[in-house]
Structure 1
Amino acid sequence: MSNNMKNIEFEKPSFSEWQDAAIKALKGKPFESLLTKTSEGITLEPLYTQESLVAKLGEELDKQVATIRSLQNRQVFRVAQQVYADTSEAFFAQLDDSLARGNEIVTVDSRVNFEWTEEEVAQLATYFSEYSFKITVKSAKDPLLAVFDNIAADKRKVVNGFIVSQNPITLADFPNVRTYVADTIVYHNEGANAVQELAYALATAAKYAEQEESFEAFSKKFYVSFAVDTQFFTEIAKLRAFKVLWKAFSSAYGITENVKIPTVVETSLRSFSKLDVYVNLLRAANEALSGLIGGADVFTVHPHDALTKPTEQSVRIARNVSLVLKEETNVLKITDPAGGSYFIESLTADFVKKAWALFLEIEAAGGMDAYTASGKLAAELEVSYQARLKATQTRKQSLIGTNIYANPADDLVHETNPLFAEIKRIAVPFEQLRADMTAANVKTGILALGSLKSSKPRADFVSGFLNTMGLVPEKSEPVTTVEEALAWLNATDAKYVVIAASDDHTKALVPAILTGKPADVMIDVAGKFTDEEEAWLANGLNGFIFAGQNIIEKLNSVFASMKEVQR
């Protein structure tokens, strides 16, 4: 029998056969319901096959894979843990500790809580001869830049690192310090999608390339900086797509050999939340893995409490995320771990095509500066940001612990880290409204009609809906008569109540409940009742709660109405 098992071969189903089975499983829903539209305007298929990938890319597939692999640096994913400290003494103590425990790159933002005096700058300079660095400065006048004056002339050629600044910093005698950065993180934090980030990186590169006497001189000073978000496969494809785009970009300048450009990456903070902050740790780990697979050269993991005030413990955990992934996943033993994946190769190609088209549009408009000055760039970012907000507020995009599975007992920390205060985070509207409702001590309730079995699904949905604002509604036992419902409404402290029941029980009891309800209790109904809506609203119903609704708009409206009643 075992021999027979070994000889059995299962017939490989065709795509059309799989599609037929999928349509049958959908039970009347169209096959198109399985398609997903991304924020970049790309339609994701439910299934990718070798045949579909070859049909889409043909000979370009081999070129794409070969390009990505040839432009991958050998020494990848070096750990760049940022140091946070209130005093210079603590700063250098934590820097020493991090370097001893696996940090590989001195990572400093000049906006610290102490002054960069001559003594501190001179002390920092001693590290630059031994370690690579990534420093963020505000301008050419930033006091932190004095660190380079403290490096001996005979050591300057061995100093290597990256300077992040809005405008390039001019350094003499430091050939291995890269000062031209396509910093797409600033656009990412304004809401940019992957295609926009890639196109803006190329447009910025074109701007700086024109400022040097040769492409070689430019490329030795240039690097690109990305933030990776929670969309795992999207971010892998984004990092891979940049290599393909860079090859096309350098070829346009007549460069035939492979010019490797460092990819300096960090975890995104725009999806971080001050609510249920340990979920930020899960987000960061997910993002770090996508950066590792995507081929990041330098990586920074932000601590889970980076939005407020990082602690030594949170910084250590963040650093260990990189170390565990780097040392224990074995991903670095493979040049291009995602290479050959039908889905990721297809997505990579889509990003390349769309980003190159947007890059050409920017160049046709006069380049990055002209495009920015025209207002087109800001308008694009606003559209992307608003779409991201809407997706979160309607729960098309989950933000665990914030817009779904929220912990109402969680305390919202009001302290804000000034380094990250300006980021357009999608959690901010939830945090703001939750803080307002908590301060106002809003009392809510759920009135269950009918049996427990019939009312529980909607009651649970409403409870989760309200939990996003830190509200814990008082729940009634299921009642079956109008008299019982009105008795509960008169006894409860809740001033905002949602009725949760099956369609039949809702239709049967709501009209009479509205007629007899207390005047100071605002009532909503869980579910959509199109035919009854007009009559119920006219009879005193406030509105409805249902799946796909904008949580912020709905509960902002409820909160505003409650404040109006209290006046």
Structure 2
Amino acid sequence: MSNKMKDIQFPSVNYDDWKEQAIKALKGKPFETLFSKTIEGVTLEPLYTQEMLVEKMGGQLEKQISTIRSLKMSATFLAAQQIYGKTPEQFFSNIQDSLNRGNDVLTIDSRMPFEWNDDSLSQLVNYISENSFKFYVQNENDSLLKVFNKIDDSNKQKINGFIISETPVTLEGFEKVRTYSANTVTYHNDGANAIQELAIALALAAKYAQLEENFEDFTKKYFVNFAVDTQFFSEIAKLRAFKVLWKAFSSAYGFNNPSAIPVFAETSLRSFSKLDVYVNLLRAGNEAFAALIGGADLITVHPHDVLSEPTEQSIRIARNVLLVLKEESFVADVLDPSGGSYFIESLTAEYVEKAWQLFIEIEDAGGIDAFSQSGKLQAAIEEVYNSRLKAVETRKHSLIGTNIYANPVDELPLATNPQHSQIKRLAIPFENLREKYNEVQPSIAILTIGKLKNFKARADFVAGFFATAGIILKQSGEIETIEDAIGWLKQVNYDYVIVAGNDEDTKSLIPSILAQKPKNLILDVAGKFKEEETEWLNSGLNGFIFAGQNLIVKLKEVLESLKGVQR
């Protein structure tokens, strides 16, 4: 058998052959329906081939791959997990536990529940003298920065770390502490897309490069911090594209062989939800893996309950995500895991081209500060954010456990982590809506007409629709006559009912139901009925529920109607 298998020859198939078969499988739908457009404006093709990639990039392909591989800062990545603690005692206990359990870089946000006094700063000195660190501070007057005043001049050369701040921090004598952070996470959290983040990273580099006498001194202080979202391949391409852009940027300053710049990545919180929080763990795992494949040097995984109050268990799980990736995936042993992929290389090149164009636009406007002050940057990011929000509200983009497959009995946590309260998360409208429905406690049901096989699909859709607001709907069971329908409506006394059935059953019963329904009952129909819409609405129908509808808009409308009729 094995010898015969060695002799098997598979016929070669080219793109045209594949396209022909794809068109047949589409059964009349246009071939163009297989193409999709990303939020960055990049058109994704259904299939990528070697010939397409070579035609697109030519001799630039080899340069792109070699640039990405040569600008990798380290052979593997380091775990940079954030340290939490309500008291100094708990905080420092967690530091030691974190180090014992595999954390490489101490990540500390200065906004702690306790004060950074002399005692806590003195204890912190002992840890940052022996371990790398990543600090998040508000500005150069942040109290956490006083820790550097407690370090002897003889030990300053040992201190190795990074400081993320909105404005660069000045430290004298700490040559191994990088303070020029292109922190694109704040823009990411406002809704920015990958191309905008890349352009902003370069624009910040251009701004900070002017603060040093020469470009080489600047590169020793500069690093970039990205948030990695759930768009797996897009985020891989984003991290790879930065390295290509960095070389082009350095070349403009006369450095054709630039030094590698540390690339940080942290899991995105704009896709996190307070609903069904364990799904956040899946999101974070996906994002961390993308960061690893994309070539990040330091990775931070946020705990799945970080939006409320991280627990000892969730912090440990988050750290273990990185340890499993490092020890069991073996991806870290490969210099450029996605290198040579037709799709990834094409996407990387697209991001490089578009991000460079946007960077030039920012520079022509006078730099990142002038571009921001003009309102153009915020307007562009706001436009992308609104597009993201609309995609979530219409379910074109899924937030599992929030806008689809929601658990209606899931309770929102009362605690809120102030460190992340300003993020424009996509789940917020659903969380707010669930709170409002919980206050009103409406009485809602589905009137299912016909046989089970005829109404089940639409009834399940409606149940899932309202589950996003935390509502569990009752169902009438099989109702096949107008008499049974009206009898049930009068008996149960609900505030709001949705009729679900197939098109034929719905069309036959709705006119009679509308003529005899209880006066104060709000009635909707599941499905789109364009021809009957005007007539039914004029006869007292409230509206329709259908796929592609804006969930937030519809559910808000229903809630307002319910407030006026509740018994």
TM bucket normalised to smaller: over 0.9
In the other structure, the counterpart of 1:514 is: 514
- Aligned partners of 1:7, 1:264: CA distance in 2, in Å? 48
- Aligned partners of 1:276, 1:521: CA distance in 2, in Å? 32
* 1:297-446 mapped onto 2 (5 Å cutoff): 297-446=297-446
Q: Residue 177 of structure 1 contacts residue 221 of structure 1 at CA under 8 Å; is this kept in 2?
A: yes
Letter in 2 for 1:147: V
Q: Residue 442 of structure 2 contacts residue 566 of structure 2 at CA under 8 Å; is this kept in 1?
A: no
Aligned-partner SS, 2:220: helix
1:320-366 deviations in Å (ceiling 9; x for gaps) = 00111111100011000010111111110110010000000000101
1:477-528 deviations in Å (ceiling 9; x for gaps) = 1211111111111122431111111111111111111111111221111111
- Aligned partners of 1:445, 1:90: CA distance in 2, in Å? 49
1:70-127 deviations in Å (ceiling 9; x for gaps) = 0012243211111111100000001100011001111111100111101110110111
Q: Residue 70 of structure 1 contacts residue 258 of structure 1 at CA under 8 Å; is this kept in 2?
A: no
Aligned-partner SS, 1:397: coil
- Aligned partners of 1:442, 1:197: CA distance in 2, in Å? 43
Q: Residue 527 of structure 2 contacts residue 545 of structure 2 at CA under 8 Å; is this kept in 1?
A: yes
- Aligned partners of 1:277, 1:430: CA distance in 2, in Å? 14
Letter in 2 for 1:39: I
Letter in 2 for 1:394: T
In the other structure, the counterpart of 1:163 is: 163
Q: Residue 162 of structure 1 contacts residue 177 of structure 1 at CA under 8 Å; is this kept in 2?
A: yes
In the other structure, the counterpart of 1:60 is: 60
User: 1:562 and 2:562 equivalent?
Assistant: yes
1:275-315 deviations in Å (ceiling 9; x for gaps) = 00000000000000000111111111000000000011110
Letter in 2 for 1:407: N
Mark the runs of 5 or more structure 1 residues left unpaired by the alignment. none
- Aligned partners of 1:122, 1:110: CA distance in 2, in Å? 15
In the other structure, the counterpart of 2:99 is: 99
Letter in 1 for 2:248: A
User: 1:240 and 2:228 equivalent?
Assistant: no
User: 1:144 and 2:144 equivalent?
Assistant: yes
- Aligned partners of 1:86, 1:367: CA distance in 2, in Å? 41
Aligned-partner SS, 1:429: helix
Q: Residue 474 of structure 1 contacts residue 494 of structure 1 at CA under 8 Å; is this kept in 2?
A: no
- Aligned partners of 2:175, 2:356: CA distance in 1, in Å? 30
- Aligned partners of 2:76, 2:246: CA distance in 1, in Å? 18
Q: Residue 126 of structure 1 contacts residue 151 of structure 1 at CA under 8 Å; is this kept in 2?
A: no
- Aligned partners of 1:255, 1:3: CA distance in 2, in Å? 56
User: 1:478 and 2:478 equivalent?
Assistant: yes
In the other structure, the counterpart of 1:550 is: 550
Q: Residue 191 of structure 2 contacts residue 388 of structure 2 at CA under 8 Å; is this kept in 1?
A: yes
- Aligned partners of 2:287, 2:5: CA distance in 1, in Å? 42
* 1:461-472 mapped onto 2 (5 Å cutoff): 461-472=461-472
- Aligned partners of 2:504, 2:28: CA distance in 1, in Å? 24
Aligned-partner SS, 2:445: strand
Q: With structure 2 as the length reference, what TM-score do the two structures score? A: 0.99
- Aligned partners of 2:360, 2:524: CA distance in 1, in Å? 51
Aligned-partner SS, 1:157: helix
User: Offset of 1:3 from its aligned partner?
Assistant: 3.9
Letter in 2 for 1:307: L
In the other structure, the counterpart of 2:504 is: 504
Q: Residue 497 of structure 2 contacts residue 524 of structure 2 at CA under 8 Å; is this kept in 1?
A: yes
* 1:128-207 mapped onto 2 (5 Å cutoff): 128-207=128-207
Aligned-partner SS, 1:389: helix
For this pair of structures, how many residues does the alignment match? 567
Q: Which moved more, 1:377-386 or 1:7-16?
A: 7-16
Letter in 2 for 1:284: A
Q: Residue 76 of structure 2 contacts residue 333 of structure 2 at CA under 8 Å; is this kept in 1?
A: no
Q: Residue 239 of structure 2 contacts residue 295 of structure 2 at CA under 8 Å; is this kept in 1?
A: yes
Aligned-partner SS, 1:141: coil
- Aligned partners of 2:168, 2:230: CA distance in 1, in Å? 30
Letter in 2 for 1:429: P
User: 1:213 and 2:213 equivalent?
Assistant: yes
1:39-79 deviations in Å (ceiling 9; x for gaps) = 00001111111111111111111110000000012243211
User: Offset of 1:16 from its aligned partner?
Assistant: 1.1
In the other structure, the counterpart of 1:85 is: 85
In the other structure, the counterpart of 2:528 is: 528
Letter in 1 for 2:107: T
- Aligned partners of 1:451, 1:534: CA distance in 2, in Å? 27
Letter in 1 for 2:522: M
**Cα RMSD after superposing both structures:** 1.0
Letter in 1 for 2:9: E
In the other structure, the counterpart of 2:451 is: 451
User: Offset of 1:256 from its aligned partner?
Assistant: 1.6
Letter in 2 for 1:287: E
Mark the runs of 5 or more structure 2 residues left unpaired by the alignment. none
Aligned-partner SS, 2:158: coil
- Aligned partners of 2:78, 2:467: CA distance in 1, in Å? 40
1:217-258 deviations in Å (ceiling 9; x for gaps) = 100000000000011111000000000000100011000213
1:405-460 deviations in Å (ceiling 9; x for gaps) = 00111111132100000000000000000110011112211111111101111111
* 1:89-128 mapped onto 2 (5 Å cutoff): 89-128=89-128
* 1:252-263 mapped onto 2 (5 Å cutoff): 252-263=252-263
- Aligned partners of 2:130, 2:486: CA distance in 1, in Å? 75
Aligned-partner SS, 2:498: strand
Q: Residue 495 of structure 2 contacts residue 565 of structure 2 at CA under 8 Å; is this kept in 1?
A: no
Q: Residue 236 of structure 1 contacts residue 291 of structure 1 at CA under 8 Å; is this kept in 2?
A: yes
Aligned-partner SS, 1:256: coil
Percent identity, aligned pairs only, is 59
Letter in 1 for 2:296: A
User: 1:13 and 2:13 equivalent?
Assistant: yes
User: Offset of 1:566 from its aligned partner?
Assistant: 3.5
User: Offset of 1:6 from its aligned partner?
Assistant: 2.5
- Aligned partners of 2:550, 2:444: CA distance in 1, in Å? 19
Q: Which moved more, 1:69-78 or 1:526-535?
A: 69-78
1:347-403 deviations in Å (ceiling 9; x for gaps) = 101100100000000001010000000000110111011000000011111000000
- Aligned partners of 1:566, 1:407: CA distance in 2, in Å? 25
Q: With structure 1 as the length reference, what TM-score do the two structures score? A: 0.99
Q: Residue 75 of structure 2 contacts residue 335 of structure 2 at CA under 8 Å; is this kept in 1?
A: no
Q: Which moved more, 1:66-75 or 1:533-542?
A: 66-75
User: Offset of 1:2 from its aligned partner?
Assistant: 5.3
Letter in 2 for 1:238: K
Q: Which moved more, 1:196-205 or 1:486-495?
A: 486-495
- Aligned partners of 1:414, 1:19: CA distance in 2, in Å? 53
User: Offset of 1:25 from its aligned partner?
Assistant: 0.8
